[in-house]
A and B are shown apart, each in its own frame.
Chain A
Amino acid sequence: MSWPAADPCQGLEGDLYARVFAEGARDDTLILNMGPQHPSTHGVLRVLLEMDGEYVMRAEPVLGYIHRMHEHMAQNRAYVQFFPNMGRVDYLHALAWNWAWAGAVEKLAGLEVPRRAEYIRVICTELNRVNSHLLWWGAYLLDLGAVTPIMYAFEDRELVMDMLQLITGSRLTYSSFRFGGVLTDIDTEFVSRCRAFLKRMPERLEMYRELVTGNAILRGRLEGVGVIDQMTARRYGATGPVLRGSGVGYDVRRAEPYGLYHEFDYAVPVHHDCDCMARYMVRMDELEASLSIVAQAIDGLPEGHCIHPDAPRGKWRPPAGEVYFAVEGARGKIGVYLASDGTEIPYRVKLRSPSFSNLSLFAEIGQGTLLSDAVAILGSLDLVIPEIDR
């Protein structure tokens, strides 16, 4: 784009991203910033759009507004001191990230985890997944213009957060896993609250189905919108509900079992329609699967320690070596690559976050959609921006 020399608008072409993006744009289109302060981007995500009327011609996500150098922070502190960071990477499924870090270090040092601790990990992580999906459900419908459902979702989320507060002490940014176990044991009060919650949820999920899932307006907004075919999803490395909504039954809990997940009987929901509705249905089915895992874990809870008696405490030196450990988070595959040189602090840490890969799909599938459909697609990817930037 070149301006005449006397143009008063010279130098106002936007920042570097906008100038690069504007190259090659048609003259009759509009370059528009969606975000970083747009409510439907759920945080500080900025998407550059080239708009032709109401249609998105091109879209490009711009990242880095909430980059906090978590990987570098890990390389500056003792292994155990990195736990509070994990809760802040993905604040909605903090315990999966806790597990990824604890699991990576346990794999590196060959630490043993007591059976009871493994069960407690499964219970909290699945409750946290329920919590995350419920918030996604409410917030997604809020994006689509339905204001009431998030109130119902928060009613159930409060119960989960009260339960998790009993054992972790926090309500959102949990950091309760430790190498070789978990920080606190669960007591009878937690178990009874958990059973009450499991009894209540089927009725609530039925209500959600009546209120939202069957609704003709929602189906009209989601069916056939944002189709991600199987090959596209695989090319971008999409994982989690996005991949399972495209007909690939890949779940880290099943594909690379960790912890004691192989002992539980649960379904991995897969839908083959590849559109926003398929991703919506995968998450709604996952709520039921997670609740069934929690029920089995509560029933089969073994006696024992909640942390191994010989677990390392404080600053310690694991052996030198490198490991990769992956867990299934609410948004997909969470991976931690860890290289240790045998000192008190990690040599290199790389965090693989699922939202990053899932977001990169948007540049391709957002093309040619209506702006309101682009919002529906962004929401259906269930993005957590702090996780993308890390």
Chain B
Amino acid sequence: MAILTAPVQALAAVWSMVVGLRVTITNFFKPQETIHYPRQEVPPSHLDSFRGHIELVGTDEDPAKARCIGCGLCAELCPSFCLKVVAEDLPADPTVSYESHNGADQLMPRPKFKAPPPSQAQPRKLLSYHLVYHTCSLCGLCVQNCPAGSLRFSHDVYLAGASRGRFEFDLMERLRGQAAHGGPKGGKAHA
């Protein structure tokens, strides 16, 4: 029987190749799985979940005005330091009298712990919002933690550029442009 072992093994080896070739040949006649990108594009419905760079969300009344309250939490949390929020305090409401304005708090004993003063919780006026996208790592911390729901991810898959400047965005300007072109109004912050 030992004389038969080698031919049987050789036959088994050849048969394993035939089985493999059958797989290759059946797949050869199946429709193509890939697309030829510049000439064909993936349907937009397949790109909904793509996380592009962040963008500002407009208010429901005025899509050109961001919901952002200028608190700067996003810029503080960003691990890559790629956000810059420029905002100014709104002019103080003359009908409200703060303790620090009239000097009353100087007369009182200071408690060890106290709630943040009301001016911090008040919205500030957003002047500009800058994003340097080439250092962003798309972790989503800004979107997740935005208290006003003013940030979301864009779905621009085909963003490409040949210079750094192409990836530095003024997001307020972008929002105004989107509103002028009837872009998405309001909407939820996708994560």
Contact = CB atoms under 8 A, between A and B. Distances in A.
A169 B24 contact: no
A216 B144 CA distance: 53
B23 to A, nearest CB: 4
A215 B49 contact: no
Q: Dominant SS at the B interface?
A: helix
B140 A183 contact: yes
A169 B19 contact: no
Contacts of B141: 80-81, 83
Contacts of A85: 79
Interface stretch (B9-17, B96-104, B115-123): B9-17
A86 B19 CA distance: 42
B139 interface: yes
Contact of A314 (B23, B27, B77): B77
Nearest to B47: A165
Contacts of B33: 155, 158
Nearest to A184: B191
Size bracket, chain B contacts = 20 to 34
B76 interface: yes
A216 B138 CA distance: 45
B145 interface: yes
A235 interface: no
Contacts of A210: 19-20, 22-23
Interface in B63-83: 73, 76-80
Interface string A200-233: 0000000100111011110000000000000000
A178 interface: yes
Interface in B1-35: 12-14, 16-17, 19-20, 22-24, 27, 33
Q: Dominant SS at the A interface?
A: helix
A333 to B, nearest CB: 25
B126 to A, nearest CB: 20
A313 B20 CA distance: 53
Contacts of A81: 77-79, 139, 141
Which 10 pairs show the lowest CB-CB distances between chains A and B? Answer: A216-B13, A169-B51, A81-B79, A84-B139, A84-B137, A211-B23, A175-B139, A166-B49, A216-B16, A165-B49
Given A211-B19, A313-B144, 12 more contacts: A77-B79, A81-B141, A83-B139, A83-B141, A84-B80, A88-B137, A158-B33, A169-B190, A169-B191, A215-B17, A313-B145, A314-B77
Interface of A: 77-78, 80-85, 88, 148, 152, 155, 158, 162, 165-166, 169-170, 173, 175-176, 178, 183-184, 207, 210-212, 214-217, 313-315
15 contacts: A78-B77, A81-B78, A84-B139, A88-B137, A152-B27, A158-B33, A162-B46, A169-B49, A175-B138, A183-B140, A183-B144, A184-B191, A210-B23, A215-B17, A314-B77
